[in-house]
Chains A and B, each alone.
Chain A
Amino acid sequence: MDVLAAKALGAGLAVIALAGVGIGIGNIFSAMVTSVARNPGARDAVFPIGILGFALTEAVALFALLIAFLILFT
C-alpha cells in the first residue's frame, strides 16, 4: 500500500471519533430542550451550561479533526 492511500485511510479512521461526539452533542441538546420545556423559567440558567457542555464536547471532535488534518497535510 503506498503512503498516500495509507494517509487517506488514516485520516478517515481518525474521524470515527465524531460518532461519539455526535451522540454526546445530541444528548446535551436533548437534555437542554427537555429541561426548558419542563421549566421555561430555567431557560437563562440552563443555556450557558448547555453551551459550555456543547463546547467541551465539540472540542473532542476538533481534536480528532486536527489529527486527520495532521495526517493529511504534513
Chain B
Amino acid sequence: MIDALHQFELAPVFGLLGRSVNFSQSAAFMLLAVGLITFLMLRGMAPRAIIPGRLQALAETSYEFVHDLVTGQVGDEGKQFFPFVFSLFMFVLLGNLLGLIPWAFTFTSHIAVTFGLAAIVFVLITVVGLVIHGTHFFSYFFPEGAPKLLAPLIIPIEIISYLSRPVSLSVRLFANMVAGHVMLIVFASFVVMIGSIGAVGILGAALPLAVNVALYGFELLVAFLQAYVFAILTSIYLHDAVHLH
C-alpha cells in the first residue's frame, strides 16, 4: 500500500520549545517563505542600480509582473491594492516552490492555510465594495437590465456564486498541491516497487522515474500557475468590488 498522505502530516519542530507551542513545520516554512521574500525585496533592491544584477532583476521582474496584472485587471484604482496582491502572490508562490524541494513541507497543501488566505480576500472584497458603493453594492447581485421577472432566480444564484468564491479559490490551490504531491509520491513508489524485483526490475524502474522527472517539471509550472491564478482571481474580484460588473 502506498502511503501517499503521510507527507502532509504536521509535526512539531525545534524540539521541546516547538512542541510546547505547537510550532509545526508548516509554520516554519511560512516563516522561511516570508523571510525569503523580505530578503529578495530588501537585498535585491539595495543596490538601486540602473543596470540590475541578478537579484535586483528578479525583484523588479516579480514587482512589474504583479503590478501589470493588478492594474490590467482593476484599472488605475487597483494601485492601492497592489501591495496586498503582491504579498499574496509571493507568499503562495514561495509556498508552492519551497514545497517542491525534497523533504520540504508544502504549507499551501493544507486547506486551513489556503482557506485562511481566501477568507482574507473575501472579507477584503466585501468591505471594499461596501465602503465604495454603500448599500448600492447589493445591486451587484441583480445585473442591470435583467428582466424583473427573473429576479427570484437570478438573485439566489448570484449570492451563491458570490459566497462560493472563497471555497473555489482555496480548494483550487489546495487540491492542486495535494494532487501534484500525491502523484509524485505514487510514481516514486512505483520506482521502488518495480526496482525491488531484481535486475530486470531496475531496467523497468527507469520508466516511472522518467515520468517522475517530467512530472516534476510540470509541478514547477503548476506552482507558478496556481500562484498566478490566485492573484488574478483576487484582482478580478477586486475589479467587481470596485466597479460592480
CB pair A65 B179 closer than 8 Å: yes
CA distance A58 to B229 in the complex (A): 11
CB pair A62 B176 closer than 8 Å: yes
Tell me if A's interface is mostly helix, strand, loop or mixed. helix
Q: Mark B1-43, 1 if CB is under 8 A from A, else 0.
A: 0001100000000000000000000000000000000000000
A interface residues, Cβ below 8 angstroms from B: 48, 51-52, 55, 58-59, 62-63, 65-66, 69, 73
CA distance A66 to B168 in the complex (A): 13
If A69-B182, A73-B5 touch, whether A63 touches B171 (CB-CB below 8 Å) is yes
CB pair B175 A62 closer than 8 Å: yes
A-B contact pairs, 14 of them (CB 8 A): A48-B72, A48-B232, A55-B172, A55-B225, A58-B172, A58-B176, A59-B168, A59-B172, A62-B171, A62-B172, A62-B175, A66-B171, A69-B182, A73-B5
CA distance A59 to B165 in the complex (A): 12
B184 CB-CB contact with A under 8 Å: no
Contacts of A58 in B (CB 8 A): 172, 176
Contacts of A62 in B (CB 8 A): 171-172, 175-176, 179
CA distance A62 to B172 in the complex (A): 7
CA distance A2 to B178 in the complex (A): 28
CB pair B182 A55 closer than 8 Å: no
Interface centre among B4, B72, B171, B175 (most CB of A within 10 A): B175
Given contacts A48-B69, A73-B4, 10 further A-B contacts (CB under 8 A): A48-B232, A51-B228, A59-B168, A59-B171, A59-B172, A62-B176, A62-B179, A63-B171, A69-B5, A69-B178
